[in-house]
Structure 1
Amino acid sequence: MTSTASWQVLGFLVAVIFFHSSEYMLAIFFHGRSNVTLSSLLISKNYVIAMTCALLEYAIESLLFPSLKEHWWVSSIGLLMVLFGEFIRKAAVLTAGQSFTHMIRRNHEDDHELITHGIYR
């Protein structure tokens, strides 16, 4: 694996770890530790399978076509897109505050408030 490819994998792993840990911490901040389960890490069996396949695909591609991984500007654009998406996601979570949950609700709950300001405007 080339040094560029190694940096790309490291960047990917840092982004994934940041996403999951920050989602979990925000859930604890807004709902309290006793009301948050490990499901707030947003990691499921299917997610692990998908991530494993993605990393396997990356490794095979790196071995068979290493020159494709040397286009650092492509991964830089991808990283900017990830950062922009993460910014929007965190703005949504912070704006919704107590009303944000990782659990999809089918029925209205009395303490739930429809957020119509900020990023939800």
Structure 2
Amino acid sequence: MTVSNAHLSLTSFLLSGCLSLLAVVSLLIDEETVGLVREYTPVLILANYVLVNLYYKLFYQGYHYQIAVRATFLGTVFSTGCLISVFASLSWMPLGLYMIIMAIFHFSEFLVTALVNARTLSLDSFLLNHSKEYGIAALASWIEFFLERWLLPEMKELWLFLLVGVVFCTAGEVLRKAAMMTAKTNFNHIVQSVREDGHQLVTHGVYGLCRHPSYVGWFIWSIGTQLVLLNPLCLLAYTMASWKFFQTRVLIEEVSLLNFFGDQYYEYQQKVPTGLPFIKGYM
């Protein structure tokens, strides 16, 4: 079942993301082909999305179909982001890169969970419906981007900041997924209040660098998304909101970990920092 869920999600993502290959290939052909791709991009995206969904609707039902639908959606977002980045004007490139980054993050959350901790796998593992606050924050960032691009399009061409944002997102993504793969079955998207059988304290790998590498990765990634979009207002808001969220989250989680592991976790606390700026945790 683990391989089935992982394979299904990956296949769905790749099938719906195949338009990005068309964009790259067209650049190697001629200008006329590039023009056709630009003209018919919305039609190509919609047709590809509908056909892939129809295929999975015919061959899958229930839970597996729901996996395929979400992975197909994310693959379409990824493909659309690639096309925007390649063919749209320079001031639209931040949006294209942002879509690529978001699609990879949410898809990889599910895929990595399916591979290393299938016991906790659910549709929520995509984190598409993480929380109402998460949705509001995303919506705010989109509104800021479109307003600023409309009023001051040159703001969206500050490539040094965009590059820094890509580095932030990449580093945060790598750190978070490294944490998930290191912890394996000890990782959970939900803070646990009861210690389950087999739950062990992980202190090696990236956990030797900081106590909460998955949170540190997400914190860096979230800031990076607003650098990519070149959103100064949301950059400040995301930094403050993310810091406040993780301050509370770390306190709650470390109370549970101290209850689970006692002196073993206390000694770990003394040796390794949380990794989050100005957050000491429950000491």
TM-score by length of 1: 0.89
In the alignment, is residue 57 of structure 1 matched against residue 144 of structure 2?
yes
The answer for the alignment partner of 1:36 in structure 2 is 121
Aligned to 1:23: 109
| Equivalent residue, structure 1, for 2:91 | 5
1:39 Cα deviation (Å)? 1.2
Match of 2:162 among 34, 54, 75: 75
> Separation in 2 of the partners of 1:60 and 1:98?
43
Runs of 4 or more above 6 Å deviation: none
Alignment partner of 2:116: what SS? helix
Q: Share of identical aligned residues, percent?
A: 32
SS in 2 for 1:104: coil
Residues 4 and 72, structure 1, Cα contact 8 Å, conserved in 2: no
Contact 1:5/1:69 (<8 A) preserved = yes
Give the number of the structure whose alpha-carbon radius of gyration is greater.
2
Find 2:201's aligned residue among 109, 114, 117: 114
Distance 1:18 1:84 in 2: 13
Distance in 2 between the 1:50 and 1:65 partners?
A: 22
State the distance in 2 between where 1:68 and 1:11 align. Answer: 16
Cα displacement (A) at 1:19: 0.4
* Distance in 2 between residues matched to 1:112 and 1:100, nearest whole Å: 9
What is the aligned-residue RMSD (CA, Å)? Answer: 1.6
**Counterparts of 2:169 and 2:146 in 1: how far apart (Å)?**
21
1:35 CA displacement: 4.3
Count of aligned pairs between the two proteins: 119
Structure 2 residue runs of 5 or longer lacking an equivalent are 1-87, 209-283
Greater RCO (Cα-Cα under 8 Å, separation 6 or more): 1
Q: Indicate whether 1:101 and 2:191 are aligned.
A: no
Matching of residue 48 in structure 1 with residue 174 in structure 2: no
